[in-house]
Amino acid sequence: DFQMTQSPSSLSASVGDRVTITCRASEGIDIYLAWYQQKPGKVPELLIYAASTLQSGVPSRFSGSGFGTDFTLTISSLQPEDVATYYCQKYNGTPRTFGQGTKVELK
Amino acid sequence: EEQLLESGGGLVQPGGSLRLSCAGSGFTFASHAMSWVRQAPGKGLEWVSALSSHGAFTNYANSVKGRFTVSRDNSRNALYLQMNSLRAEDTAVYYCAKDRGTSRPDAYDMWGQGTMVTVTS
């Protein structure tokens, strides 16, 4: 079965810290990779698509990179409103598998 | 304003059936592939099913294949999920989600607020 593996599963960082989350696909997916943010009790929201393209309205402190099997989501300067769980998802073909999520908390 | 609104969730016994609906508004519904994604309590997101813009192509997660059926009525801007032979492990919030683009599989740029399905005896 196709797998998307995120790491770490959780992290704790201070306001202003640079935060990096990785996502590894079990097979190559070109750039068909999205990142979503889900704040506690809220609906997921699209942050990045095509591995590195910022969705309209998303703050520029978020960025994405990668190609093939290895991808990264970076928050350049963590803000209190960034406390959330982040999910990667591949969308070239089905299943459109999600990663297991990375929970980001404030230290 | 673009919006997706799910309905139809509720409490059902194991082996029972339920039909979820998702109403789209504020965008050209017929131009976008649509999907269902679920989230069990305290767990991550799980992709369930996808349906092409005209309804010709359907895909399902292995966990629901043969039990769930996705469909759409573009004249009503509506997406459906017929769920049969429900199991306790189907308990989750079910979201409908819209593909960002119109010409190829894409990320989900819009999600509904979700509808809760609870399977219990």
Residues 40-59 of A with CB under 8 A from B: 43-46, 49-50, 55
pLDDT tens track for B46-85: 999 999 999 999 999 999 999 999 999 999 999 999 999 9
pLDDT of amino acid A31: 97
- The sign of the CA dihedral B105, A72, A101, B10 is negative
Q: Go through B86-106 and write b for each residue having 16 or more CB atoms within 10 A of its CB, e for each that does not.
A: beeebbbbbbbbbbbeeeebb
- Tell me the three state secondary structure of residue A81: helix
Q: Which residue, among A100, A95, A105, A101, has the nearest Cα to A29 in the 3D structure?
A: A95
pLDDT of amino acid B76: 98
pLDDT of amino acid A1: 85
Strand partners, A72: A22, A65
Give how far A14 is from chain B: nearest CA, Å: 24
pLDDT tens track for B31-53: 999 999 999 999 999 999 999 99
Contact between A92 and A46 under an 8 Å Cβ cutoff? The reply is no
pLDDT tens track for B9-26: 999 999 999 999 999 999
Structure tokens at B19: 């039909």
Mean pLDDT, rounded, for B107-120 = 98
CB-CB neighbors (< 8 A) of A5 in chain B: none
- Tell me the three state secondary structure of residue B50: strand
pLDDT of amino acid B74: 97
pLDDT tens track for A31-88: 999 999 999 999 999 999 999 999 999 999 999 999 999 999 999 999 999 999 999 9
Give the CB-side neighbour count of residue B3, counting CA atoms within 13 A: 6
